[in-house]
Amino acid sequence: MGGLRTEIISDTSAFEDLEPHWWQLWRQSISATPFQSPAWLIPWWQTFAPGDLVAIAVWSADALVGLAPLYVERHDHGRRLLPIGISLSDYLDILCAPELEAKVGAAIADAVLSLRWSQWILPDLAPDALAMSLDLPNVEKHRAMAHVACPVLPLDCDRTLADSVPARRRRQLRRAERAARRRGAVIVNRSESDLQRFLDRLIRLHGARWAGHGGGVLSDMAVEFHRRALPRLADSGMARCLTIQIGDAVVGAYYGFHHRDRAYAYLGGFDPAYADESPGAILIGHAIAGAVSEGAREFDFLRGRESYKYGWGAKDRWTAQKVWMRSAPP
């Protein structure tokens, strides 16, 4: 492979030891999101580890130039090859050094073919994901399909919130802010300086938001994961944690990310007793305004077609899922 060396990592300690090299590679990739960073995926593996680790690292001398963080899940119908980060990550992908994408992709494909699996599933691939161009020669079946919609709001970082959000939503936001002020002083704070306290509030408010309705995503293991991941994300400058206080009560929390020219709204919660004051909407308005001021070109609401996202003017961007199947794995 023209001086490239491929390594299949099956030991968790060796996987964690990749971190400094991984950060360098991640920063080179123009398509990488926070969900491909070691701040996200190392804690995911430490928390869940649901199968056999088979991360594929591609090296050029001492430089990491490619990474496919994968694991094998065994089940009754065979062995499935899956990406680390599945389920909690809105975007998944491989990483490649920009100048070596074709060679690194071929090296990763060769390594994948050397593993024992009957099905390789890559969900949540953005339109510009590097894995979209991966090819596995001589594999019996392959299919790609639209997977999940991620509504995205375009932003103009040279202008203001008013230039990015529909007038109707801005009017609703002003009414919500007036209603909130009638109940007391309204304070929106950044909370990256006290992350565990922020997570405690987010867990409480997310649970309150979904109590009796289903749909909450903070299981005990997910909470454990976020307690590991959020400090790493904050240290890297990606975390955006907001709370809203009305009077003496913290009634809403927003958990998002910012990387390069894109902001991501990952998770939120609010106290249903304050539903008429729309604390969640107030927080999203602050998050969008903050993203504009930081130079973001997009505000990504991530997976799901909840109606409120379209009220902000977001439009669907669809991810893809690729699946390879073979009937007789080696």
* Whole-angstrom distance, CA of residue 298 vs CA of residue 83: 26
| Residues 104 and 177 reside in one and the same domain | no
325 exposed, middle or buried (CB, 10 Å; 0-12, 13-18, 19+)?
A: middle
Residue 41: C-alpha distances to residues 96, 153, 204 (Å): 16, 26, 25
| Sheet (strand 262-270) strand order | 52-53, 70-75, 78-83, 119-125, 315-325, 141-154, 298-300, 262-270, 249-259, 239-246, 186-190
Q: Structural domain tally of the chain?
A: 2
| Residues 13 and 128 reside in one and the same domain | yes
| Residues 69 and 160 reside in one and the same domain | no
| Residues 139 and 207 reside in one and the same domain | no
| Residues 183 and 76 reside in one and the same domain | no
pLDDT tens per residue across all 330 residues of the chain: 458 999 999 999 999 999 999 999 999 998 999 999 999 999 999 999 999 999 999 999 999 999 999 999 988 778 999 999 999 999 999 999 999 999 999 999 999 999 999 999 999 999 999 999 998 887 866 777 888 999 999 998 666 777 789 999 999 999 999 999 999 999 999 999 999 999 999 999 988 877 655 555 678 899 999 999 999 999 999 999 999 999 999 999 999 999 999 999 999 999 999 999 999 999 999 999 999 999 999 999 999 999 999 999 999 999 999 999 887 554
What is the predicted pLDDT for the residue at 1? 45
* Whole-angstrom distance, CA of residue 165 vs CA of residue 309: 11
User: Could you give the maximum distance between any two Cα atoms of the chain, in Å?
Assistant: 68
Q: 142: domain CATH number?
A: 3.40.630
User: What is the domain range of residue 237?
Assistant: 156-296
Q: Would residue 313 count as lying in a domain?
A: no
Q: Identity (one letter) of the amino acid at 154?
A: P
What b-and-e string marks burial along 226-244, b requiring 16 or more CB atoms within 10 Å of the CB? bbbbbbbbbebebbbbbbb
pTM comes to 0.93
What's the alpha-carbon Rg for the chain, to the nearest Å? 21
Q: Identity (one letter) of the amino acid at 243?
A: T
Determine phi and psi for 301, rounding to 5 degrees: -80, -5
Q: Would residue 282 count as lying in a domain?
A: yes
Cβ-contact 252, 271 below 8 angstroms: yes
DSSP letter at 34? G
| Residues 34 and 83 reside in one and the same domain | yes
What is the pairing mode between strands 78-83 and 119-125? parallel
| Residues 198 and 274 reside in one and the same domain | yes
Q: Would residue 310 count as lying in a domain?
A: no
* Whole-angstrom distance, CA of residue 33 vs CA of residue 273: 35
| Residues 170 and 99 reside in one and the same domain | no
Residue 50: C-alpha distances to residues 74, 80, 82, 95, 113 (Å): 9, 12, 10, 22, 21
